[in-house]
Amino acid sequence: MATRVQMPMFGLTMTEGAITKWLKREGDQVRKGDFLMEVETDKALVEVEAPADGFLLKILARENSSVQVGATVAILGAAQEDVSGFLQEVPQNPAPEARTESVSSAEPSQPSAAKSISPRARRLAEEHHIDWRGLSGSGAEGQISEKDIRLQIAESKKA
């Protein structure tokens, strides 16, 4: 049975997020917990996990597009599952209160749901070819900060 992947809410004031990168492609098999996409908010860059096992049947939101919280951005399901009828039911920009339970499973209140990094720290990590996904952050709720990346750069220069 198909599952909607919706834009999660990362904070009480968040109304939309920008999908900066899809980490999986249409047709890819995913497991619950696999990272599907990167979402940038005004305060952080967060990797969003798949809410269920299945195949990424349809991507509805393009990279570098802003999406309202609660809007369906992709559909997961069984291989070769027909989602054409399901797509007709999908509201493109539902109100935040219309979100389903699958969204709450991707919220940062669960530490495993997302790995976040500040946009500035991400740029610094990319400039120095640092893989930040394995780092532990010292910021609020484990967010990786610029300080964490600078420490990693210093450690790699020592080695």
Segment 36-90, tens digit of pLDDT: 999 988 778 888 999 999 999 999 988 888 889 999 899 998 888 887 766 665 5
* 14, 75: one domain: yes
* 105, 120: one domain: no
69, 99 contact by CB (below 8 A):
yes
* 47, 66: one domain: yes
The pLDDT-based confidence of 114 (bands split at 50, 70, 90) is low
The pLDDT-based confidence of 96 (bands split at 50, 70, 90) is very low
* 122, 143: one domain: yes
CA–CA dist 100, 30 (Å, integer): 20
**CATH label of the domain that carries residue 98:** 2.40.50.100
State how many domains the chain has.
2
* 85, 151: one domain: no
* 10, 51: one domain: yes
* 20, 49: one domain: yes
Runs of H (alpha helix) within 30-145: 84-89, 101-104, 119-127
**CATH label of the domain that carries residue 121:** 4.10.320.10
Range of the domain at 86: 3-109
* 55, 18: one domain: yes
Bridge partners (DSSP) of residue 8 are none
Inform me whether the pLDDT recorded for 119 exceeds 90: no
* 123, 51: one domain: no
Give me the pLDDT at residue 130, please.
83
Inform me whether the pLDDT recorded for 1 exceeds 70: yes
* Side chain identity at residue 2, one-letter code: A
CA–CA dist 66, 40 (Å, integer): 9
CA–CA dist 135, 143 (Å, integer): 10
